[in-house]
Amino acid sequence: MLKPTQDQIIDIYKGLAECVKFHGHLCPGLALGYKSSILAMHRLKEKKVSDEEIIGIVENDSCFVDAVQVITGCTFGKGNIFFKDYGKMALTLLSRNTKRGLRVALKSGVLTQPQNMEIFSLMDKVLSGNASMEEKRLFEQFQLERAVRVLKSEPEEIFSVREVEMELPPSAKIMKSEICGGCGEPVMVKKLVEINGSNLCIPCAQKREFR
Ligand SMILES: [Zn+2]
Ligand SMILES: [Zn+2]
């Protein structure tokens, strides 16, 4: 391990602070998204992008993704991040500059060590709305501790990393809009549906179908 300089340490904390500000709280998922992004960018020798130089693929749509967007600059707004609904804590980064790609995925057992088992019964209670104030507070404390454990760990200990080869998706294009024949609102052309000769937005098309 290289010893980071003072400036690098400050950058690390700034990046994390930005993630928390964007996401709203510090939690294990955010910490994993943050760590996996840093690891993938470091290995690919890439920096946060302002355009589409790198492409991200995430395999969940939870807290994780917010940190990925802040750290890598791959965002849904820019169209250089893609969501695959696999329910995995995994990030793939592809570089348009070097044509290299890496998939970083959470190893098993990282968030589920035996000392953590208590958290799952607490989590059930919190999610079902049956937790007391005290249990909620305890759950938050647990989550914070798990997040800190993720942040402190060596990235290679918690993630498996492999090179991937993948077709790069075409650059996101700014799409033309046309007016929906039902509601009159402008709609991206590729999202219009033709029904009986009129171009409709999806909700208008669905209303026609059910008539
Ligand atoms: Zn969260
Ligand atoms: Zn419409």
pTM, two decimal places: 0.83
pLDDT at 116: 61
Q: Under a CB-based contact definition with an 8 Å cutoff, are residues 90 and 100 in contact?
A: no
Ligand nearest to the CA of 62: 1
CA of 66 to the centre of ligand 1 (A): 9
pLDDT at 210: 60
Ligand nearest to the CA of 177: 2
pLDDT at 122: 82
CA of 93 to the centre of ligand 2 (A): 36
pLDDT at 126: 87
* Residues β-bridged to residue 56: 81, 93
CATH code for 6-110+153-163? 3.30.1330.20
Residues forming CATH 3.30.1330.20 domain(s) in the chain: 6-110+153-163
Amino acid at 182: G
Ligand nearest to the CA of 30: 1
CA of 177 to the centre of ligand 1 (A): 35
Give the number of C-alpha atoms closer than 13 A to the C-alpha of residue 95, restricted to the C-beta side: 16
Task: Give me the average pLDDT of each 10-residue run along the chain (211 residues).
Answer: 78 91 96 96 88 92 96 93 95 93 92 68 86 89 90 93 86 82 94 92 87 58
